[in-house]
A and B are shown apart, each in its own frame.
Chain A
Amino acid sequence: MRKTHLSCLALLSAITLASPAFAAGAADSLKAGKAELRSAGRLAFGPDGVLFVGDSLGASIVALDTGDTTPAAQAAAIDMTGIDGKVAGLLGTTADKILINAIAVNPISKNAYISVSRGRGPDATPVIVRTAAGGKLEMLSLDNIKNARVSLPNTVAGEGNADQRKRMDAITDIAFTNGKVVVAGLSNEEFSSNLRMISYPFTSAERGASAEIFHGSHGGFETNSPIRTFMTYKINGEDVVLAAYTCTPLVVFKSADLKPGNKVKGKTIAELGAGNRPLDMFAYKKNGADYILMNNSSRGVMKISAAKLESYPAITKPTDITGVPYETVKSLNGIEHIVALDDTHALALVKTSAGQDLKSVALP
């Protein structure tokens, strides 16, 4: 009897230690009702099937309880030709009247989630569609779903004349790590960058703290160029943020430095070439080696070696393409978005002459 008690206690302690914030379930803080989304952009999964949605027009991050918590070790193969038309069809319209904004994979169920604008103007309706058993698509109802919303401060100027109300931050990427939602924003007016960290579960008092980001100098100069996409990672056991910029350096920040109000200078460990816009990045393992897959607007999909990232010196001299080695994956063309699907595959949104396809592809 005593042994049983001790076992239970040990188990409880282990759960508490492993995930102190979510001992009661990550979705427990969410309230049932209509999710107030003005737009649905970048997506990121947190624990327990909670999906975070970047709402640029609503200047907020919305957490949704997808209820999608049945585990799957491997993802079912996905091959949806004309996904734009299929999603449009569900929504009662045609592919030229929607936009697919982002994709994500629930790490528990391995189901794919797609954020969509039904319409292409400011009044477009935000929609989340997901894959279901049998290769079907279904809509995640936003009318009655457990949800929570946190506003991002200073994103839309709420007063003044029409010209003064045009400022907006596009949410270019979001991630969930160590109990925080990390948000990268890009202003449509001033040229600056900050990473905002918002504790989850959301509290009304905290809207997130931001750190101003500089990437390391190139030549004799440094700038505060905006982060486009990023991922959280560990180098030598230390939590870091790997960020990619528009011009296109790969920069490392220590997560511990990302504190409210800090001006944080990163270490540039690779220059991946100009005339380009990085779109997505994620880490994976293959044959025991660590890699980062990075998708770009103009330079294809790059497979970047993540071995010994700590060993690369900061790039401080004029340089074009240098630093951490990478190869361009020739088999992956027209990739608009790519995210990790399971241990062996990625999920890609591919542009074709006829529209867009959603398909699983082997990790290179």
Chain B
Amino acid sequence: MGQITYLEAIREALDEEMSRDPGVFILGEDVGVYGGAFRVTEGFYEKYGEWRVLDTPLSESGFTGAAIGASLVGMRPVVEMQFADFISCAFDQLINVAAKFHYRMGTAVPIVIRAPCGGNIHGGAFHSQCIEGYFFNVPGLKIVAPSTVYDAKGLLKAAIRDNDPVIYCEHKYLYRRIKDTLPEDDYIVPIGMARIVQEGTDVSIITYGAMVHTAIEAANEVQAKGISVEIVDLRTLLPLDKKTIFDSVRKTSKVIILHEQTRTGGVGGEVSALIAEYCFEYLDGPIIRIAAPDTPVPYSPLLEEHFIPQTKDVVNAIDKMIRY
């Protein structure tokens, strides 16, 4: 089997899950006849028909609510937000309905929200946001953010099979830029488990999504100076895999947290607090956060480059950290 892209891995996961389980169906804007804004569901309308690939009106709140209703009677809907930025229109349905049903009624809400997120694509403030922070403190939701082709497929399959509402943050920049050969057999990537991308001894970089690749570039750059970097890819943001985070911190004693989302109230703040709470005695220096500044994503390519953390920012942070 040949290599496939991150986007094709998402398509494969949807296709395989729809073939496996007749309760799985897709709904969203332009997902049917048009095949999705990014062509993820191309050919699905023809293959599965209009009742399993539903073109909806431009109403994120409406079709998210419809998905929740369908899930309550045993279906497993996959909602495509055309861009993650539009998820705010469905905020009430996700926060007050989907996330709370389990606690209120003991009822499962097995829905997946596909959220094409992230910048570095010159999309400006309405097509480039990372949205995980809006949902990160909501009990009852799960959030995953694959960084590799393997995880893109495995995490989506796991999300579809999960009985809780899962927000699946797929990074648009990675769609057609990374490729891999995947196993032919069915597999999932379990929700709640981080991954050690590479082992190291001098400093830990804790990151997720497209920033994993930035971390790898930085680690390769400083390797020439004899610095050994461990990279932790969180993969699941809610719930966090605390054990893997703590094990890495206890091993290297130096921590950099890297994410593309804006700094204040981001995932990095919580990870930092957890490390300070549970690993303080192991730390040899301050916890450094590298994140986007607290502004909307700029449209200008030059400003966008400044906004999104770059390899040089990570290298500078490693150089600073290694002096402790």
Partners in one complex: no
Residues on B close to A: CB < 8 A?
Answer: none
Residues on A close to B: CB < 8 A?
Answer: none
